[in-house]
Structure formats: C-alpha cells, structure tokens
Structure 1
Amino acid sequence: MNDRRVNRVVPIPDGPVQQAQQAAQAIETAWRDGVRLQRLELLLPLIGATDLDDWPGGIRQQFKAAQPMVESVLRTVKQIKGLQGPLAANIWDQGDAVGAWTGKNLACVLFPTAGTLDKLTQLCNGPDAPELVLIVNPQWETRGNLVSDFGFGQRKAEAERFINSFQPTYCLKQLRVYGDSIRTLKAHPNRWQVHVVDRGGSSDCIATRDEQPSYQEIEALLRDRPESMMNKSIFDRIKIEFAFNQDSLKQQP
C-alpha cells in the first residue's frame, strides 16, 4: 500500500455536488494506492433542518439527505476499471436506516451500526467479497471506549480491529469552536486540513496534520489566531453568535 501524504490544500466544497466529486476522486486515488476498505464522512446538506435544531427527523431524515450524495459518488466510482458492474440497493436495518449498495466488485454501506457489524464483516471477508468496500458516516463511536453494543474483552477487541481497518479517505466535518465555524477535511492522499469559514462562506486553511486533529488541537490553533472568536470580548462573541442564530433560523428546508 502506498501511504504517501500530500500537503496540497483542497478547497472546502461549495455544496453536495462538489463534495461528491471530491469524494469520488479521493476514493479512486486511494483505490489505486491499494486501499480496499475505505471510510467516508460526508457533510450532509440540511433538509427541513437548520444549524440549530440538528435533524429533528433523526437518522431517517439524514438518510434522505445522504442517499443522493452516496448514489452520485457510486455512479462515478463504478465506472473505474476493476470496479465496474451493477449495484443492488438494500436496507440492512429499517429502524437505524442502514442502507447498502452491493455488487461483484464494489459495495457501499451507509450509516453502518454495531448491530450490522457482523453483516459488514461477512461482506468484507466472505468468499465473494468485493474488491472495494466503502462505509459512509458510521454510527458507532470509536473514540475512547466503544459503545456497549460491541460487548467487551475479545469481542470488543476484534470489533475495534475490524473497524480500524477502514482507512479514512474522504472526511468533511463541521464544528463551532467559541463561535468560529470550522471545517476539517481529509481527501486522500492529502493531509487532514483545518479551515476557518467566515459568514460569507470563504474559508482559510490554518493548519494541516497527518492525523485527524482533536478538538483541543483546534482550540490551540484558534488561540494563536488574533482574529478568532475566542480572542474577542464576551460582548462581541454574544453579538456575533446572535447574528449566526438569526441566520440559521432563516434557512429554508
């Protein structure tokens, strides 16, 4: 496997279409580098939600937002030589909205959970395992202790070993840190990037890292940035946060 790291700054995508294009390119590059098991984290477009109410329809609402993006990515990826062929769409778990697209050479699982881990393991390790398996926005927690669904002892260790075999090849996440809007972006083969996004949508890459940056690392980066929100007075922060909240409430589904 070629684990080359590139320090090119990848722009924050301006919407779902560009994000799907970036993801497909990262997947193909990683595939050509020998990465058979890949993990994606897509930033979902808000549908019937705002930044403040955080998916009132739950995981099924998120599925409706994610499905078109995933299918767009797959339409591109399955044109790659060695990954071609039809894909069958199935629901692995109705309640948790776990969807799967499977074919001879390519498979993708959206929102995999601890409850579908055995099925995912069989897909990856069975006699008819596809050449490339993608997981998108997994619903398990891998930082700290794994959720109780993974059990403990040997079973937990095996589950952790398996899910860690999926290499992150495209990940776009957003968070707010003391009022600053942050995007972290990983697009194989490039390093992890930390971007600050202003209210107009323009972004500034303030750091790159070999590993996914922690919240504490991002805080430290912002602390060294004079214009960051954490370095403003409490009154200025309240004023700017109020404006952000008003803008979020104006968003249309």
Structure 2
Amino acid sequence: MVDQAAAAVQAALDAGRTRQMVSLLLPVNEKEADFNSTEPVDYPCSLQKEFDTACALTKSLLQRLLGAGTNINAKRIDDGGVEGEPCAVLFPDDKSFLAVVFPTADRLKQLQGYAKQEGRPLLIVNPQWRNEGQVISDFGFGPWRKAADDFLATFEPSYALKEKRIGSPGTVDAATGTRFVSGGVIRLLRCYPGPWEAHAMAANGSSQFLENSPAEQGYKDLDAAIKRGRAAKLEIFAIAQQVTAVYRSSSEEEEAADGASSAAGGGAGATSEELASLSDADIEALDAASLRRLLLGMGMPASGKISKLRERVREARDA
C-alpha cells in the first residue's frame, strides 16, 4: 500500500500538484493480522494506536519519496492530553516537505499556515473531519464552511484506499443462515491520475472489481453499484455469503444429511465423535464459517475472532 501511495503522490507532484490528500487503510484491528479481513473485531484498538500506525506509515511514505535514509521528524500539533484528538506534522530536517496526520477541523488554521509557502509539498493524511452525511459540517455552516471547502478543494486526492460498509451485510438472514444477503463491503481505490475504483470484498479476502468513477463514490452510489453487481450475478457476492454462513437452511441440512447417509451407507457419526476426531491441525485448517457452525451445533457462542473460535472448538473437543 505504501509503495502504491508513493507512486501516486509522486505522479501528482510531477504534474505540479503540491497540495495533496492521502487516505490510508490502516492495518489495525482485524486488519492487523490479515489486511484483507473485513469482519470487525469485538474490541477495536484505541485512537492513539490508529494515530501511531498512521504516523509510521506516513514516515515510510515520506522516506520513499525523499530517500530511504532521510530523517523524518514528527511534531504533535494537537492540544495534548489523553482525551484530545491526536494530530502531528511530519517533515525532513530541512522542512522541504510536510505531511499532517489525523488533522481535525480545529487544525484548519494550521493547515492554512503551512500552505502559505508556495511550491512546498503538503500532504493531508487521513483527515478526521466529516463534511458529508450530517446536518452541520465539522467546519460549521455558511461562510465558514464555504471557506474551508474552498481551501480543501485545492488538495488533490492523489491516493486513497478506503473501506466502506454499505447496508447491513453482517446481518444473518433467517431463511438461509448466511450474511451478505444484502449490502456489502467495498474498498475504494484511487491512484492519481486514475479514476476511483470500487471493489467488492468477501470476508476471506476475495475481491472483485465493480466499477469506477471520475469522482469519489458516495454511499448511495456504492449501494447502487452493489445492486447492479448482484443483478449481474457477480461471483463475489456468492463467495461473501458462503464464507460467512452461520448455519445452513433446513433444505440444505436435508441435502447434506442425505449425502452423508449415501456416502456412509447409513447413519452419520455423532457430533461428539466427529469433534473428537479433529486434530489441532484440522481445527487450524477450518475457516470461520465452519467453526461457527460447529460451535452453534453444540450450543456454544460463535462470535469473536477466528483464534477465539478455534480455542472454543479445542476446549469442546478436550472436554
């Protein structure tokens, strides 16, 4: 991701765009162990960890742009305190390049001050303000909002990798026992000077391109894109349902039972016997959907990280 971002930022710089906006998908929470994971964890990390991760990625980005041996300094520019919203500016020793990480609307004046030096590259990395989807923008309304919008419009969104949850894809459909019956998880990718690409994701890391747009797609645009993808019967939506299935419908259970009976020449083995036959390697090889089905079949909780699911299955086997 950082290499991709560096290439996009450099392309924009070569085109004379010294003010740029960069949005990085942070490898935290479920993405810390598997960057392609899309299912949220029960206990997300702190804002401080997100900030520290963003700063580390930004430092790496600047070193790719300025040279691997470049010393990068970091200076906190927020109000401080454990309850505050962290923000920092990163720069080389000669201050020839600035990157402001996690700015909020309160940092707008500082950004405007940094932008006064013409020709000096200035990156805004993972801004924390919200300017859409609410009655009043973080920048206020009327002339205050217009002034902020006009200033931020001078920043080219040179690189973005974002993840959006559209609708309620995690809701279990009672009839089928599957998730992702509606809605979906989308990753948006933009590398200057290309378009904004929308990719549908499944929980096992699979993805499929949906469509692109010259401008960043909003919630309604992505919802419509998902519906078009489902209408076109794109494979990714079937995969998304399969890998997050919680249980099988009664008809599927009957088909599975018939198949097992035919294969075994009669009755199927008891659940406890099947469980006892699982080795540690077998349990490690099971995906989240299979683990959940086992746990639900035993009347045990089936939520949490996959490591927790495996732990519960091992405990049930050894009981």
The normalised TM-score by structure 2 is 0.61
Matched to 2:199, the amino acid is H
Aligned to 1:181: 185
Describe how 1:77-226 pairs up with structure 2 within 5 A: 77-79=65-67, 87-93=72-78, 94=80, 95-102=84-91, 103-125=94-116, 128=117, 131-143=120-132, 150-177=139-166, 178=169, 179=180, 180-226=184-230
Q: Distance in 2 between matches of 1:248 and 1:224?
A: 32
Q: 2:66 is aligned with what amino acid?
A: K
Identical aligned residues as a percent = 27
Answering whether residue 55 of structure 2 is matched by residue 67 of structure 1, we say yes
Q: CA deviation at 1:46?
A: 1.4
Asked if the contact 1:39/1:135 (under 8 Å) is kept, the reply is yes
**Counterparts of 1:146 and 1:161 in 2: how far apart (Å)?**
19
The answer to whether the 8 Å contact 2:63/2:70 transfers is no
Q: CA deviation at 1:56?
A: 4.0
Residues 170 and 36 (structure 1), Cα distance of their counterparts in 2 relative to 1, 3 Å cut: same
Change (3 A) 1:32 1:118: same
* Greater percentage in strand: 1
Larger helix share, 1 or 2: 2
Deviations 1:168-219 (A, max 9, x none): 0111111233333321101111100011223332322121110111222222
Deviation at 1:225, TM superposition (A): 2.5
Q: How many residues align?
A: 225
* SS state at 1:165 partner: coil
How far apart are 1:55 and its partner, in Å? Answer: 3.3
What is residue 260 of structure 2 aligned with on the other side? none
Q: Give the Cα separation in 2 of the matches to 1:170 and 1:251.
A: 33
Q: Secondary structure at the match of 2:187?
A: strand
Cα 1:195/1:162, change in 2 over 3 Å? same
Residue of structure 2 in register with 1:9 after alignment = none
Distance in 1 separating the partners of 2:214 and 2:307 = 35
- Of structures 1 and 2, the one with the larger relative CO (CA 8 A, separation 6+) is 1
Deviates more, 1:59-68 or 1:149-158: 149-158
Aligned partner of residue 170 in structure 1, secondary structure:
strand
User: Deviation string for 1:99-140 (max 9, x for gaps)?
Assistant: 111343210000011111111110111xx4561000011011
On the 8 A contact 1:196/1:206 being kept in 2, the answer is: yes
Structure-1 separation of matches of 2:245 and 2:165: 10
Structure 1 gaps, min length 5: 1-18
Instruction: Give the Cα–Cα distance (whole angstroms) in 2 for the partners of residues 181 and 144 of structure 1.
Output: 18
Query: Could you report, residue by residue, the CA deviation over 1:211-251 in whole angstroms, capped at 9, with x for unpaired residues?
Result: 1112222222222224469988xxx9699364579686226
Q: Could you tell me the TM-score, scaled by structure 1's length? A: 0.76
Change (3 A) 1:248 1:161: farther
* Corresponding letter in the other structure for 2:59: E
> For residue 3 of structure 2, what is the aligned residue in structure 1?
21
Q: Which deviates further from its counterpart, 185-194 or 212-221?
A: 212-221
Query: Counterpart in 2 of 1:4?
Result: none
Q: 2 CA distance for matches of 1:149 and 1:224?
A: 33
Question: What's the offset of the Cα at 1:63?
Answer: 1.0
Change (3 A) 1:163 1:88: same
- Structure 2 residues without counterparts, runs of 5 or longer: 33-38, 170-179, 247-287, 293-301, 309-319
Greater shift in the superposed pair: 237-246 or 60-69: 237-246
Distance 2:99 2:194 in 1: 22
